[in-house]
Amino acid sequence: MRLFFPFPKILAVGLLLGVLGCQSEPTATDPAPGRPRGGVAVLPPVEEDFVEQVLKWGYINPQGRMVISARYDDARNFSEGRALVRQRAKWGYIDRRGKTVIRPQYKAGWSFVDGRARVRTFDGKMGFINPQGKWLIPPEFDEAEDFSDGLARIRQREGYGFINSEGQVVIPAEFDRAARFVSGYAVVKIAGGYGLIDTRGKYLLEPIYRKVAQFSEGLIRVRDDTGFRFLDTLGQVAIPGPFKNAQDFVEGLAPVKIDGAYGLIDRTGAVVVAPQYNQLFYAGESRWVVERDQRYGLIREDGTEVTELIYEQLYHFSEGLAGYKQEQLWGFMDPEGRKRTDPEFGLVWEFKAGLARVAFYEGTGFINTDGQLVMEPKYREVRDFVEGLARVQIAP
């Protein structure tokens, strides 16, 4: 049997801090300050002012073989056949063969979505390009987000608005804050209040609330001076509350905080799981994670326990399995609370395409849904497989 983390716990913590550090996903790196030369700080052009990284990023296939050599200072997952990569201070794009298809030239970039990718020039402006690197929407905006419901949020000076696929501003940049459109509506903030607009810029909810969430199962969660309540699609009160706190509906149930504890209500507002937990959130697979006295467990929608509250932490389910933490190590369980693996890993990530990353003393490897090790932990930095490739960081 393989031994996992056969070392003192304090050393395990140090390793985990290093592993956790690989989770952040910055898009661009700020340039380093100029170095004094002859007593005077001489600043090179921004696009050249960057320290080359010693460790490089490349890509492996599911068999663990390096198929795109580690030659990039930073890299992102593949999306629509393109991956964003950085060489020194400039970002560009490669294809699945590792061929450069859009030369490194941008201060920042994002993945392709529906044939478009957002990029930022060294002038600080953002626009959209196609998979060949041609401008679809010129770089004219201070900020830009991906399109949803045919519109993209943009920022011009201090205001947020929305453009269409032609780059035309169709909802003026007059909001203090704005979220992306979901199912035809977007949350906006103006003059200190939150509201909800449609794709024409018309208000469904006037901006009079302290908080507004998106539609969830036909209801809108809002917060006013008295607390949280739920409105219907016409903006009328459906569940008056008010609740000290509340989350969105999932599978007909919503967590609410009553008298200092969380329980579940149904769409009529009736309490179906009595308030008794410090935390309560949906985990998938018709299961809810609950916490009391810093111990976690699983319950069903009627409140009956799937597991006792004995775990130090629980993740949500992915591909039928959820990570659990016990005695400072991690394993996986199924929706019935049966352990698919013992608690033997330093850290776990969710399953994607049948594989999950798990942390060992030696580095990060992959297991399958049966808990079998399918890729040895020979890489310190490795990410999930996307479009058949995973990025890894190694010494060239």
Question: Alpha-carbon distance 262 to 141, whole Å?
Answer: 43
Contacts of 252 (CB under 8 A, 6+ apart): 217, 266, 267, 301
Identify the weakest region by mean pLDDT among 35-49, 102-116, 298-312, 373-387. 35-49
pLDDT digits (tens, 9 = 90+) for 100-121: 999 999 999 999 999 999 999 9
User: What are the helix and strand counts (H, E) for the chain?
Assistant: 1, 39
List, for residues 198-247, the tens digit of each pLDDT value: 999 999 999 999 999 999 999 999 999 999 999 999 999 999 999 999 99
Distance separating the N- and C-terminal Cα atoms of the chain: 32
**How far apart, in whole angstroms, are the C-alpha atoms of residue 93 and residue 107?**
13
What are the domain boundaries of the chain? Answer: 1-28+278-396
Instruction: Read off the pLDDT of residues 238-262 as tens digits, 9 standing for 90 and up.
Output: 999 999 999 999 999 999 999 999 9
pLDDT value at residue 43:
57
Beta bridge partners of 100: 94
User: What confidence category does residue 122 fall into, taking pLDDT thresholds of 50, 70 and 90?
Assistant: very high
**Rounded to whole angstroms, what are the CA distances from 97 to 43, 83, 100, 390, 391?**
37, 11, 9, 13, 13
DSSP state of 6: -
Distance in angstroms (rounded) separating the CA atoms of residues 228 and 237: 11
In angstroms, the CA 20 to CA 201 distance is 41
Edge-to-edge strands, sheet with 56-60: 66-72, 56-60, 390-394, 381-382
Q: pTM of the full predicted structure?
A: 0.84
Angle, alpha carbons 110-111-117 (nearest 5°)? 75
Extract the tokens encoding 342. 């013992």
DSSP states along 325-348: EETTEEEEE-TTS-BSS-S-BS-B
The H-or-E segment that residue 19 falls in is helix 9-20
